[in-house]
Structure 1
Amino acid sequence: MAIREILEVPDSRLKTVSTPVEKFDDELKVLVEDMFETMYDANGIGLAAIQVGVPLRVLVIDLQPEDPDAEPEECTAHGGHHHTHQPLKKEPRIFINPEILDPADELNVYQEGCLSVPDIYADVERPKTCRVRWQDLEGQVHEEEMDGLMATCIQHEMDHLEGILFIDHLSRLKRNMALKKLEKLRKAA
């Protein structure tokens, strides 16, 4: 198991269209293990293989409830009192060669962020629900109706497989503002 480096914009590899997985072997299992380890280390909820420089159609997602301490503004929004400290629930999910079958017409807006675009958040509109077909580590095919944050997250991660980042959904003005802000944050660091 190893934590891999996460590519960040403007790394051109993030624009790669990933290729389907054909070999469901040990190498794939190692990649997936490393992706989970890398994602958890970075406090992410989703990661595509291309984000660690591997252009394969592999996603890992875990919508674990976040540690309330991680978002101080969250606490004040709730009056800062009724937060119970539960350990993170790990619900790791693996999606290999995923495809969306029938995205809903109804859209939902979520404030999205991305480990490849650190510390930048923006509202993105996506289909509210979608049916997803994918393979597991053994190559078995699954199908499931996704909604809520899961629908948003899987669509966000599947964009990576086409070389699309969430900021690509923004107007040019908003995208440029986001990238300028990122540059400033990097200089400050």
Structure 2
Amino acid sequence: MALRPIIRFPNPTLSMSTEMVTQFDSSLHSLVDDLTDTMRAAPGIGITAPHIGVLQRVTVIELDRQTGPRTFVNPQIVWCSVETARHSEGSVSMPGISEEVERPSSIRVRYQTISGEALEEEARGLMAVCLQHEIDQLDGIFWIRRLSRLKRERAVNGLKS
């Protein structure tokens, strides 16, 4: 377990798509441990492997410290609701900046566990927001690309201040 340096926006790594995980071994377990430690120290509620420079399709989300972190390997959204909701979002790669983003309010995601077991589940509320945000990142879509041009410029200018 180790804290890893977080890549900061506008590093081009944050716009790169990730590779599917094919090896469910001790190196994956170490990566997940490092992601968890780094996310908690940031502090944040979600982090992806690209945030620490690793282009693998892995994310860790922890909405509640008592419940603990959840790991999603090779996640993909297989269904989205028509209903949408707005929620404030930010990134560990862009600390101190947040804006409202509109996304589907419910999703169904297919993923693998850290041991490789294939699962599918539906998410609503904050978990749905986090999964969509982190899966975007795994697809090379940094969260500010979901903003209007004006809001995106405001976010980038806020980072420079």
The TM-score by the shorter chain falls in which range? over 0.9
Q: Which residue matches 2:27?
A: 27
Q: Which residue matches 2:119?
A: 142
1:88-127 matched pairs, under 5 angstroms? 88-127=65-104
Q: After alignment, is 43-52 or 89-98 more displaced?
A: 89-98
Q: State the alpha-carbon separation in 1 of the partners of residues 123 and 158 from structure 2.
A: 33
* Alignment coverage as a number of residue pairs: 161
1:26-175 matched pairs, under 5 angstroms? 26-64=26-64, 88-175=65-152
SS at match of 1:36: helix
TM-score between both structures, scaled by the size of structure 1: 0.83
Q: Which residue matches 1:176?
A: 153
Q: Measure how far apart 1:173 and its partner are.
A: 1.6
| Structure 2 residues not aligned, in runs of 5+ | none
Name the aligned partner's letter for residue 125 of structure 1. E
Q: Measure how far apart 1:150 and its partner are.
A: 0.2
Name the aligned partner's letter for residue 178 of structure 1. A
Q: Which residue matches 2:17?
A: 17
Task: List, as ranges, runs of 4+ consecutive aligned residues in structure 1 with deviation greater than 2 Å.
Answer: none
Q: Measure how far apart 1:134 and its partner are.
A: 0.5
Q: State the alpha-carbon separation in 1 of the partners of residues 157 and 88 from structure 2.
A: 19
* Greater Cα radius of gyration, structure 1 or 2: 1
Q: Measure how far apart 1:44 and its partner are.
A: 0.5
Structure with the higher fraction of residues in strand conformation: 2
Deviations 1:41-61 (A, max 9, x none): 112100010000000000000
Q: State the alpha-carbon separation in 2 of the partners of residues 129 and 93 from structure 1.
A: 18
Deviations 1:95-131 (A, max 9, x none): 0000111100110100111111110110000000001
Q: State the alpha-carbon separation in 1 of the partners of residues 115 and 158 from structure 2.
A: 42
Q: Measure how far apart 1:171 and its partner are.
A: 1.2
Q: After alignment, is 168-177 or 11-20 more displaced?
A: 168-177
Q: State the alpha-carbon separation in 2 of the partners of residues 180 and 113 from structure 1.
A: 14
Q: Measure how far apart 1:90 and its partner are.
A: 4.1
Name the aligned partner's letter for residue 9 of structure 1. F
| Structure 1 residues not aligned, in runs of 5+ | 65-87, 185-189
Q: State the alpha-carbon separation in 2 of the partners of residues 46 and 24 from structure 1.
A: 21
Name the aligned partner's letter for residue 124 of structure 1. V
Q: State the alpha-carbon separation in 2 of the partners of residues 50 and 90 from structure 1.
A: 24
